[in-house]
Structure formats: structure tokens, C-alpha cells
């Protein structure tokens, strides 16, 4: 549980800095990777910048992409 709380706190901090909704970031990632479907999205801070890690699925292949949220 302590790890979950830490991750939730980090995600909340990222969303507090975000200017782009997670849905928009997800749509951007999917549109840039034709034929893919989003299966997961996690907000995070990288070097103080709000980002979203989007996991995409195309057929049986997973791919992780990072989208900026600011």
C-alpha cells in the first residue's frame, strides 16, 4: 500500500501541472500510431514536466509512448 500512495501522490502532482487533459494526450498518441488502441495511461512528472505514459496495443504488440501534458 505505501507504494500505491506514493504513486498516486506523484500522479496527482503531475496532473496539477498539466494543461492538457489525459484524454487529449491519449488521442494524440493513438492518432500518431495508426491501428493502435490505448490500453493504459499514467500521468507522471519527468524533470518537473507533466507527461503521460500511454501504452498502446497494435495487434499483439505493445508500445509505450510519452506525451507532454503542458
What mean pLDDT comes out for the span 52-70? 97
Rounded to two decimals, the pTM is 0.87
Q: What is the reported pLDDT for 1?
A: 59
pLDDT of 12 strictly over 70:
yes
What mean pLDDT comes out for the span 43-68? 96
Q: What is the reported pLDDT for 43?
A: 95
Q: Which long-range contacts (CB under 8 A, 24 or more apart) does 50-57 make?
A: 50/14, 50/15, 50/17, 50/18, 50/19, 51/14, 52/14, 52/22, 52/25, 52/26, 54/25, 54/26, 54/29, 54/30, 56/29, 56/30
Q: What is the reported pLDDT for 20?
A: 95
Amino acid at each position: 500500500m505505501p507504494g500505491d500512495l506514493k504513486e498516486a501522490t506523484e500522479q496527482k502532482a503531475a496532473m496539477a501541472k498539466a494543461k492538457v487533459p489525459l484524454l487529449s494526450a491519449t488521442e494524440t498518441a493513438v492518432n500518431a500510431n495508426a491501428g493502435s488502441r490505448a490500453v493504459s495511461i499514467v500521468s507522471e512528472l519527468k524533470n518537473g514536466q507533466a507527461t503521460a505514459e500511454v501504452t498502446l496495443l497494435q495487434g499483439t504488440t505493445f508500445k509505450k509512448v510519452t506525451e507532454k501534458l503542458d
